[in-house]
Amino acid sequence: MKLAIWSYQAPAHVGVSMCASSINGVHTVLRAPKGDGYATIMLAMFERLGVLPPLTINALTEGTLAGAPADLPRVLREIDARVKPKAILVTRSATAAVLQEPLDGEFGTMTPGELGAEVIFGASHPVRDNETTAFALTLRQLVAHVAADCARTETPSVNILGPALLGFHDHSNVRALRALFAAIGVDVNAVVPLGATVDDLRTLGRAWLNVSLVHERTAPLVAYLRERYGTPSVDALPYGEAGTTRFLREVCATLELPADRIAAAARESQLGWYARTVDAHALSTKRVAVFGTPTTAAGIARVLHDELDMRVEWVGTYVREYGDWLSARVADVTGRILVTDDYREVAQAIDETRPDIVFGSQMERHAASAHGIPCAVISPPAHILNFPLSYAPFVAYEGANYLADVVNRTQVLGLEHHLIETFGPRGQGRFAEQAPEGLDEPAVAAAEGAPQWDPSAERLVGRIPFFVRKKARANIEKYAREQRLAVIDERVVLAAREHVGG
Amino acid sequence: MFDTAIETLERDDFCSLAPIGWLHHKMQDAFFLVVGTQSCQGFLQTALGVMVFAKPRFATAVLDEDDLSGRDALTALLPLARTVVAEHAPRAIFLGSTCTPEILKMNVSGCAPAIERETGVRVYPARMDGFDASYTQGEDHVLQAMLARTPAGGETPNLVVLGCLSAIEEAEIRLECAAMEIPEPRFIPAESALDLAPVGPRTVIAPVNPYLFDATAWAKRERKATILSAPFPYGPDGSRAFYEALGAAFGRSVSYAERERAAWASLEGELTALRGRTIAFASDAMVELPLARTLRAAGARVPYVGTPNVYRKFHAPETALLEGVEIAERPDRFATFAKLTEHAPDVVVANLNIANALEGMGFAVKWSTELTFQPIHGFSGAQSLFAMFAATLRRHDALAGHRAKAGSETHPISMDFFLESHR
């Protein structure tokens, strides 16, 4: 056993669900205790999914402990009839894997052709794989399962691989990449898995080139497509203005297209100009640390170093399998690479180096805030705030602009700093951090004849969550005044709640 | 009770570890050590971690390959418990056993005495798996473990109020007991995990949460305690019945009729919003029965209530007041959707799993989780309780009204919409 408080990655079955749920027409059946269904809640809440997530738990029950079968055929029939998916992916969580139930045996008792959907048993391992490796294996498996021979498209085209539901700014990233390819006259053959249909998976071989948005999710698929169809892939990452230009050069070179369209497309970016503006001059003195998924860490560290001339203290990732890949990408950016999935090591590195800005996941935001260091979230695991409704890409020329805004937001600008020094920091902090203190102060100086708070009542009100406490206090005092009560005790607090709420 | 439901199909529920959220908040000197998989850890982190990360008082002992192949549980657990004690200095550890140890027949609770002996810290073993239990029953099993460590009751009659309450909810019960001149209540859980009232044959246990079947059954069986059988103290009607039964249990004949009438009168604003509207419950947290009962008393129509488990005798005071309501026990997801479509309620009370999906279908949804952690017990909580439902209706109607006035069309919600990358 190992003591775990916080992990960067979700268990394997969440990676499987993220991948499969992103494909239109694929439904996942997860053999698991019902509690493992929180992947459903993540889909429902983070993605604000206003439909039933295409993920159903085939629940372990007390009956299972007594030897009852999974009843998989009945569950499959129910989903086939009600959801009508093209394919059903059957997988298990770690708990179910311990049981070693013969799910394929149960499926074998069904009449061939009985279901409208094709049934696929997931290849990832519920215990050994993590969120990332399970995602990558599932993506490769689903494509390999349906891939058909096909001819190349007549004009140059690409597949965009890796974006998914619950991915980091993936909806915006896909939109930005689509715009980028449109600008240089290259068609997008398919986006996989986000929004792909099963037919799209069948015809990935039509594309001339594969580009990956999230390297660690797509490496097995890219290798498969290269082997099966001989499709080349792009190595450069489309982060930053210069980075995106480098990416497009590689795309054009591979597709044997003239590179003269790039310059027009690049006019979309203001990052290069922003870096030259006087406001940004101070960035050269800023020491930064970058930690996240291999792709985001590599892409963004390069931009901060190459295009904004910031001092990169260290770069790291928690996806250990891609530590070397990351290291090779940023060897000239920093002398220190941190590969660990223990958040305490990362927090310690932040504590030791005290960078001016941290670029990391939600976890680093916590760690950095302990030292008052600003943190831009550039990687999952993320908060619901990192699932924006608006267009907020991190890749391509539009993404370069957005990244410049992100950097900008971490800055306390010169004049602002001066004002804070002059007038004090009150009101500068985030509300949530200051509110408890502020609201804990004794009631506003008692006006003549105002009701007095009895200590027992004070204690009771002290237990009300701080964010509603002020309103509750006001309601109680108003009630006491109306009732012409001189003293507020516990009874008055309760009576006030009863009559005016709060 | 619901014969079309499939036992092994999705029931849209949380994991039984969820009550750690409110229990660790209540008992500030306790640490929750969960024995389970990476998935248990992921759940705790996703559900509770963000808010309380600064100083978590829960962690998962994640099982590895050695544990799966039969390593002695105590050998593996003891060093972890020592780390918890060294780093967090809790006064009590709740040792939660989850699904995987149950499957492995790993004796987690058997480790508790040895860990307690070795660390000098009280250890309560609690079964927190989620095979058939509702997620709220995690609290049931934690409280059962605490009851098992209560001192034996003496000759003097005493009152134990069972169930996790906020200080403000406790205060009302304390004051009402004083007014009725019955013994001063002790609460389990109290603010310290070590604060345990005696429980014996002269003890009256008053459960305030409708999911405390196992804990009360244990106290009745093992300690011969009297379990108060009354509607739960939700809403003016339930509060009146609860306090009158509480008085009667100590030989007091008290009437809360006038109190109830006054309470309803002060709720007039909310009641106006609720009267004649239809509210249905998707199965969720086992608080559905008493809430349905008080909403009906408030004048709403409640045609359908899904709920994870109904204990015939324990819930009899509630089901007796729900005549004409279709109660479905353990409905699966599709059964729930079929019933909601059939009844077309004005408000659906549902878990986060399906709340947005139901909104997408056009229902007004009250997300149910709030009902388990907001202080809505008693007369003093009734305003908050009904306001939540009234607010849901008001908001739904207001948004629809504004859109209609603007001539703005509501676009249809489908999976394609969410997968469309240009959204």
Per residue in A315-365, pLDDT tens?
999 999 999 999 999 999 999 999 999 999 999 999 999 999 999 999 999
What pLDDT score was predicted for residue A443?
42
| Stretch A196-221: mean pLDDT | 97
Least confident range of A45-59, A78-92, A394-408, B234-248: A45-59
What pLDDT score was predicted for residue A437?
40
Instruction: Compute CA distances B101 → A260, B34, B124, B127, B238, whole Å.
Output: 63, 10, 16, 10, 39
Chain B: closest CA distance from residue A385 (Å): 12
Altogether, the residues listed in chain A come to a count of: 502
A62 shares contact with chain B (CB less than 8 Å): yes
What pLDDT score was predicted for residue A464?
75
Cβ–Cβ of B357/A64 closer than 8 Å?
A: no
- Is the distance from CB of A206 to CB of A152 less than 8 angstroms? yes
* A residues 180..219 contacting B (CB < 8 A): 191, 194-195
CA A194, chain centre distance (Å): 14
A449 — pLDDT class (breaks 50, 70, 90): low
**Cross-chain CB nearest to A175 (options B16, B63, B421):** B421
**Cross-chain CB nearest to A1 (options B50, B63, B99):** B63
Given a cut of 90, whether residue B414 has pLDDT beyond it is no
Please tell me which residue of chain A has the smallest CA distance to B68: A98
- Is the distance from CB of B294 to CB of B409 less than 8 angstroms? no
Chain B: closest CA distance from residue A211 (Å): 16
| Stretch A162-169: mean pLDDT | 96
Q: Could you list the active site residues of A?
A: 279
Given a cut of 90, whether residue A473 has pLDDT beyond it is no
A91 shares contact with chain B (CB less than 8 Å): no
| Stretch A202-215: mean pLDDT | 98
Chain A: closest CA distance from residue B152 (Å): 31
Chain B: closest CA distance from residue A469 (Å): 13
Please tell me which residue of chain B has the smallest CA distance to A25: B415
Cα distance between residue A128 and residue A130, in whole Å: 7
**What is the residue-averaged pLDDT of chain A?**
90
CA angle B114/B118/B123 to nearest 5° reads: 60
Q: Regarding beta strands B58-62 and A2-4, do their DSSP bridges make them parallel or antiparallel, or are they unpaired? A: antiparallel
CA angle A166/A348/A331 to nearest 5° reads: 70
A2 shares contact with chain B (CB less than 8 Å): yes
Chain A: closest CA distance from residue B336 (Å): 12
Choose, out of B379, B415, B420, the residue to mutate when testing the contact with A (most A CBs < 10 Å): B415
User: Which residues on A lie below 8 Å from B115 (Cβ)?
Assistant: none
Please tell me which residue of chain A has the smallest CA distance to B102: A65
Cβ–Cβ of B383/A501 closer than 8 Å?
A: yes
Cβ–Cβ of A35/B41 closer than 8 Å?
A: no
Cβ–Cβ of A501/B59 closer than 8 Å?
A: no
What pLDDT score was predicted for residue A379?
97
Cα distance between residue B142 and residue A370, in whole Å: 33
pLDDT digits (tens, 9 = 90+) for B95-116: 999 999 999 999 999 999 999 9
What pLDDT score was predicted for residue B51?
46
**What is the residue-averaged pLDDT of chain B?**
93
User: Which residues on A lie below 8 Å from B175 (Cβ)?
Assistant: 490-491, 494
CA angle B143/B238/A480 to nearest 5° reads: 100
Q: Count CB pairs under 8 A between chains A and B.
A: 252
Cβ–Cβ of A11/B37 closer than 8 Å?
A: yes
User: Which residues on A lie below 8 Å from B337 (Cβ)?
Assistant: 52
**Cross-chain CB nearest to A11 (options B39, B129, B356):** B39
Which stretches of B263-340 are assigned E, i.e. beta strand? Answer: 279-281, 304-307, 326-329
Please tell me which residue of chain B has the smallest CA distance to A94: B37
Closest CA relative to residue A317, chosen from A358, A360, A375: A360
**Cross-chain CB nearest to B8 (options A1, A45, A71):** A71
User: Which residues on A lie below 8 Å from B380 (Cβ)?
Assistant: 494-495, 497-498
Higher pLDDT, B47 or B308: B308
Closest CA relative to residue A95, chosen from B17, B36, B44: B36
* A residues 431..490 contacting B (CB < 8 A): 459-460, 463-464, 490
Given a cut of 70, whether residue A90 has pLDDT beyond it is yes
What pLDDT score was predicted for residue A418?
58
| Stretch B49-75: mean pLDDT | 81
What is the pTM for the complete model shown? 0.91
Cβ–Cβ of A36/B39 closer than 8 Å?
A: yes
Higher pLDDT, A418 or B254: B254
User: Which residues on A lie below 8 Å from B15 (Cβ)?
Assistant: 33-36, 38
What pLDDT score was predicted for residue B3?
53
Given a cut of 50, whether residue A441 has pLDDT beyond it is no
Sorted by sequence, the CB contacts under 8 Å of residue A67 that are 6+ apart come out as none
Cβ–Cβ of A1/B35 closer than 8 Å?
A: yes
**Cross-chain CB nearest to A51 (options B80, B355, B414):** B414
Cα distance between residue A136 and residue A123, in whole Å: 11
Altogether, the residues listed in chain B come to a count of: 423
CA B24, chain centre distance (Å): 14
What pLDDT score was predicted for residue A474?
87
Cα distance between residue A292 and residue B99, in whole Å: 32
Cβ–Cβ of B131/A64 closer than 8 Å?
A: yes
- Is the distance from CB of B313 to CB of B216 less than 8 angstroms? no
Chain B: closest CA distance from residue A310 (Å): 30
Cβ–Cβ of A191/B421 closer than 8 Å?
A: yes
Given a cut of 80, whether residue B54 has pLDDT beyond it is no
What pLDDT score was predicted for residue A413?
58
Cβ–Cβ of A460/B171 closer than 8 Å?
A: yes
Given a cut of 50, whether residue B242 has pLDDT beyond it is yes
A433 — pLDDT class (breaks 50, 70, 90): very low
Residue type, B406: A
Cβ–Cβ of B42/A61 closer than 8 Å?
A: no
Please tell me which residue of chain B has the smallest CA distance to A15: B39
CA B92, chain centre distance (Å): 22
Given a cut of 90, whether residue B227 has pLDDT beyond it is yes
For A379-415, letters b (16+ CB in 10 Å) and e give: bbbbeeebbeeeebbbbbbbbbbbbbebbeebbeeee
Closest CA relative to residue B95, chosen from B119, B144, B61: B61
**Cross-chain CB nearest to B42 (options A11, A32, A54):** A11
A295 — pLDDT class (breaks 50, 70, 90): very high
Cβ–Cβ of B418/A463 closer than 8 Å?
A: no
What pLDDT score was predicted for residue B53?
55
Residue A458 corresponds to which tokens in the numbers above?
A: 């004070």
**Cross-chain CB nearest to A59 (options B11, B356, B359):** B11
A57 shares contact with chain B (CB less than 8 Å): yes
Given a cut of 90, whether residue A229 has pLDDT beyond it is yes
What pLDDT score was predicted for residue B385?
97
Least confident range of A167-176, A303-312, A457-466, B56-65: A457-466
User: Which residues on A lie below 8 Å from B417 (Cβ)?
Assistant: 50
What pLDDT score was predicted for residue B388?
96
**Cross-chain CB nearest to A49 (options B80, B379, B418):** B418
A424 — pLDDT class (breaks 50, 70, 90): low
| Stretch A440-463: mean pLDDT | 70
What pLDDT score was predicted for residue B334?
92
Cβ–Cβ of A37/B12 closer than 8 Å?
A: yes
pLDDT digits (tens, 9 = 90+) for A477-497: 989 998 999 999 999 999 988
Given a cut of 90, whether residue B2 has pLDDT beyond it is no
What pLDDT score was predicted for residue B1?
47
Which stretches of B103-172 are assigned E, i.e. beta strand? Answer: 122-127, 158-162
User: Which residues on A lie below 8 Å from B6 (Cβ)?
Assistant: 71, 74-75, 78
What pLDDT score was predicted for residue A19?
97
Residue B207 forms beta bridges with which residues?
B162
pLDDT digits (tens, 9 = 90+) for A97-117: 999 999 999 999 999 999 999
Cα distance between residue B402 and residue A225, in whole Å: 51
Given a cut of 70, whether residue A435 has pLDDT beyond it is no
| Stretch A411-432: mean pLDDT | 54
Q: Which single residue is written with the structure tokens 């290849």? A: A123
Residue A33 forms beta bridges with which residues?
none
Cβ–Cβ of B359/A42 closer than 8 Å?
A: no
Choose, out of A19, A22, A26, A41, the residue to mutate when testing the contact with B (most B CBs < 10 Å): A41
For A70-99, letters b (16+ CB in 10 Å) and e give: bbbbbbbebbbeebebbbbbbbbbbbbbbb
- Is the distance from CB of B84 to CB of B113 less than 8 angstroms? no
Instruction: Please report how the helices B235-249 and B378-406 are oriented relative to each other, as an axis angle in degrees rounded to 10.
Output: 170
Please tell me which residue of chain A has the smallest CA distance to B105: A65
Instruction: Compute CA distances A474 → A471, A489, A495, A502, B232, whole Å.
Output: 5, 15, 14, 9, 30
Residue type, B240: R
